[in-house]
Amino acid sequence: MFIVGDIHPETSAPRSRRDNRAAILHAGRALFARHGVAGVTFEQIACEARLTRRTIYNHFANVDDLFLGVVHQTLRQLKAQMPAAPPAEQQLHAGLTRFMRDLFGLFASPCFSDLHLALVRHGNDRPDLRSAFARELLEPLHAGLASYLGARRARDFHRDPQRSAREIVAIMLGLAETSRLLGRTGEEAIRHALPLIGALAQALAQTQQQNPLCRVA
């Protein structure tokens, strides 16, 4: 049950303005993921963050303004955690295995899951946020992996590193979403995904070895 109005007490230990903002954003991310933007009020945010509504209004004008803040903050956090592409000299099987494992860990994280779910719900109404998601996160992942695949002359069945990179990233995203739907999080999700990741990396590496037009360097 939510306490409505400005009567909900602050936490016993005073928090800085920066800490208050972080608490509001954290509460907003969790509530938006569960209820969508239309299902969230500042009363709920205040209860979740253990702050008053007045404190919330000191940082955000309305729920939509808070949603924008949550999306951009989460994008910055995820961008800082993005896995780097494998070094060009690393063999294809080892490079793809490491990259896909790290990428799956990012996609399976609660932070990413909350953001992706919010964008699935509201992306059509907010194309600028969907574009920011692609620009800040997906496109750098595609570019880094495509550069590695190109350096290894690994053009897979499309003979196109850019397209191959997009498909590999999409596969990892789909695998992470499946794990979330099955209720798997954290280490459990990674443990179940590792055999599939290894098998996919092995299949891609073998495809290159068997293709005389696209042999791995």
Q: Domains of the chain: which residue ranges?
A: 17-67, 82-210
pTM of the entire predicted model:
0.78
Mean pLDDT by 10 residues, the chain (217 residues): 35 72 92 87 94 94 93 92 92 92 93 84 82 93 93 68 92 92 85 91 74 44
- Looking at residue 3, its pLDDT comes to 30
Closest by CA to 78, choosing from 50, 123, 41, 119, is 119
Closest by CA to 98, choosing from 188, 198, 189, is 198
- Looking at residue 14, its pLDDT comes to 59
* Chain centre distance of CA 20: 24
- Looking at residue 210, its pLDDT comes to 53
User: So what's the architecture of 17-67 in CATH?
Assistant: Orthogonal Bundle (1.10)
Closest by CA to 97, choosing from 208, 209, 195, 216, is 195
Buried b (16+ CB within 10 A) or exposed e, 140-157: ebbebbbbbbbbbbbbbe
- Looking at residue 135, its pLDDT comes to 93
